Amino acid sequence: MPGKNLSRDEAQERARLIGVDGYEVHLDVTSAPDSTATTFRSTTTIRFRCAEPGAASFADLLAPAVRSVTLNGRPLDPATVFDGARIALDELAAENVLVVDADCAYSRTGEGLHRFTDPADGETYLYTHYEPAEARRVCTTFEQPDLKAPYVFTVTAPAAWDVYANSAEESVREEGDTKVWHFLPTRPISSYLTAVVAGPYHVARDHWSRELPDGTLLEIPLAATCRKSLARYFDADEIFTVTKQGLDFFHDEFDYPYPFGKYDQCFVPEYNLGAMENPGCVTFREEFVFRSKVTEAAYEGRANVILHEMAHMWFGDLVTPRWWDDLWLKESFADFMGAFSQQEATKYQAAWVTFANQRKAWAYKQDQYPTTHPITADIRDVEDAKLNFDGITYAKGAAVLKQLVAYAGRDAFFEGARRYFQRHAYGNTELADLLEVLAVTSGRGEQAMADWSAAWLQTAGVNSLTPELTVDAAGRITELAVLQDSGPEGAGGPLRPHRIAVGLYDREADGTLLRTARVELDVAGPRTVVEGLAGRPAPALVLVNDDDLTYCKLRFDAASLATLRTSLGEIREPLPRALAWSACWNLTRDGLMPARDYVALVLRFAGQESDIGVLQSLHTQAQGAVDLYADPAWRAEGGRLLAEGALHELRLAAPGSDHQLAWARFLAQTATSDEHLRLVEGLLAGSARIDGLEIDQDLRWSLWLALAAAGRATVAQLDAELRRDNTAGGHQKATQCLAARPTAEAKAAAWAAVVDSDELPNALVSAQTAGFAQAGQRELIAPYAPRYFGLLERIWAERSIEIAIRFVGGFFPRLQTDPETLAATDRWLAEHPEAAPALRRLVLECRDDLARALAAQHCDRA
């Protein structure tokens, strides 16, 4: 579609010409409950200035039809000025008024205005999601983040519905069987941050207040919503508790009053992300409304997301990156502040453990792809931007900010944030704007901050840090040094300055490993000596990034690695233990530790792991080690060992505990033998019982998936389970189970459902691809690999980017870990040099995963 992929150069030129004074948007969604209605009416009035009267520009709109376009009272022919993505605007005046009346499309992909009908009660729900550039699917906009303006929304909706937007409603009036909701003007915000949520949502309300330094009282009304059929599971009190703790924390630290009036949090169906920071109207995936028992890690994760989105009210909404190059200016900060505030302000005290074990694992993986990029990335267009919501922009950026706090000091960091907000409120910024304030508040000066930025923000890759321990004949330390390298062929980028803590660990009388010495130092260059340790007894374990202050891959000396093989579970404190687990996983991914050795570590020590989030990560990683990194000849044995270990730990776990639930889920993931599958069948039927284990609905679906993948669940049985759980979640799980069956017919049906039609909603596309690729069915799905490569460009061109991304990643033959599939991937890349850069990036990353798996398998065979 011409002009659909807005470029940075186009956005810069438009920003040079245009300044926007305000939007008035009227949406009529009264047709939404009618499933045959495909569009809604959208009328937009934009008041804007032009720096060069007489010049031409364009507005953005993705709509099936445009009824009329009027510029400064002059009617324009839609057939002439609208090409499906842009509205051409010529002969602009100094002051302009553009009015566009259009029919926009309801979405099933989670982009634009998404429509969902609840199978439980037939009710219809709407919500918007735009980032990075989908507001143009709902109204006419100048779709770029640096053209901020106030918005006034008016929404006509069915009378039984409630409507939420970024600002509070000014009036609601009834007109027959409809209501017209008119909302107050917003503060100046970017188009991608606007939001409308509409439907018969269940709502809970509360409020938060704070006396400001000038004596005025800041009152923030709070609301939390979910679908009516989820209301009985909705723990709004817990959500409000975390919300209030976050508001307390951010007001204390940022010293800038929350600027957007109310604070609504809407939990919505079929959401593509974890959440979105729309000011005053934050949207979350409704999976955060827990309808079955979940572990403490799930509540901790939800709290982190709540705080992450709240941090965005300042980092991202109040002050917004000028273009997507500086996306990190909001996402890295929100990721860091989510963990920081959670640790300091809530009951969830494992935030930095989770960050080290899970968020940084995402960053390490992304940063080792051939497509890696600096934290401040080169974003040419909005398709590039879509793919840069990744582990580098979020988790690596947050890890680097944690390093910055260690480098500059907490007080200096927060004082810099305060000055940044005051200086740039309601504006747009770039990297230099942040460095300018940090140079002053840190006391490090402009050159030091520029050097830090060049090393950490403007180069890609991850360094490795390894201890080099020299011991004398008496077993005492002669020298301890930290070696820094960038991996094979310098793939990790330049050697960087690191502020680290080195921890020495020794055995206590009870056999546990406890830190006995800690040295904090700056590491620079290939080798740095740790001072002050000569003459100490050699430790059992050296951790060179203790306390997880920097971003690096942690390696071990030979003696420390030997200690971990026998005693990893004996490390007493959870953070260093999580760091050790993370380091061993990186060794496995890098082909330096055989997959079967990593599996042995998990089988030996995971049962001792107290942190439930770490335990669940270990389960995922151990399964991945067997499925992808183990020698294929050992794969079946590895799977059998995992299933036996899961059953053993399940029987040992405390009844009703989080650990018991985690081991039950892991058993469902690994069960393949007749013995284990009969137990699964018994748990579902009620003929088998494990004391304290409740077989609730989510666990039932996990057990059904195991049976379906093994060919021991019929369509009739799965249909019966769906009748028992006729909900949105139930439909997604049933779809996955049907696709997981080990028959040619099941695979063909799953493939056709995604490929042959564009009617499937986003959540069910993901369910189909998840069910399609089962580790024990490699031969069954192998014939689809050539078809996949033949369809890539067509799918990318014809589908929305969200659905295209799901196809590319979901159907890539990742389980075909053989040289032939690698060669086929290379052949596609060689034969399609002109394919869309974003598509090539995704395929390159899949190719790298495949090559890494082959290298790890070679290590495991050896």
Cα separation values, 250 from 43, 177, 247, 314, 481, Å: 37, 43, 5, 9, 40
What residue has token string 């439907």? 199
* Nearest of 86, 108, 100 to residue 4 by alpha carbon: 86
Instruction: Measure the CA–CA gap between 124 and 563, rounded to whole angstroms.
Output: 58
Given a contact cutoff of 8 angstroms between Cβ atoms, the answer to whether 394 and 420 are in contact is: no
Task: Identify whether 436 is a catalytic site residue.
Answer: no
Helix (H, G, I), strand (E, B) or coil at 657: coil
Residues 361 and 621: their CA atoms lie apart, in Å, by 11
Give long-range contacts, CB 8 A cutoff, 24+ apart: 608-611: 608/569, 608/570, 609/569, 609/577, 610/574, 611/350, 611/353, 611/357, 611/574, 611/577, 611/578
Distance CA 686, CA 671 (A): 18
Residue 590 CA to residue 576 CA, distance in Å, equals 21
Angle between helices 819-831 and 784-798 (to 10 degrees): 30
Rounded to an integer, what distance in angstroms lies between the CA atom of residue 291 and that of residue 687?
Answer: 24
In the DSSP assignment, the letter for residue 167 is S
Q: Of 618, 520, 621, 605, whose CA–CA distance to 568 is shortest?
A: 605
515 phi and psi, to 5 degrees? -70, 130
Q: Note every long-range contact of 347-351, with CB atoms under 8 Å and residues 24 or more positions apart, other chains counting.
A: 348/299, 348/300, 348/303, 348/304, 350/300, 350/574, 350/611, 350/613, 351/300, 351/304
Cis amide linkage into residue 132, ω under 30° from 0 = yes
User: What is the distance between the alpha carbons of residues 813 and 846, in angstroms, rounded to a whole number?
Assistant: 9
Q: How far apart are the C-alpha atoms of 194 and 178, rounded to whole Å? A: 23
CA distance linking residue 718 with residue 767, whole number of Å: 15
- Distance of alpha carbon 151 from its chain centroid, rounded? 28
Q: Which of 270, 286, 287, 309 is catalytic?
A: 309
Nearest to 119 by CA among 635, 856, 526, 727: 727
762-772 helix and 801-811 helix, angle to the nearest 10 degrees: 10
Per DSSP, the residues of 759-806 read -S-HHHHHHHHHHH--GGGHHHHTTHHHHHHHHHHHHHHHS-HHHHHH
**Cβ distance 331 to 389 under 8 Å?**
yes
Residue (of 709, 706, 704, 746) closest to 722 by Cα position: 704
Helix (H, G, I), strand (E, B) or coil at 406: helix
CA-to-CA dists, residue 789 to 383, 769, 779, angstroms: 21, 16, 18
Catalytic residues: 309
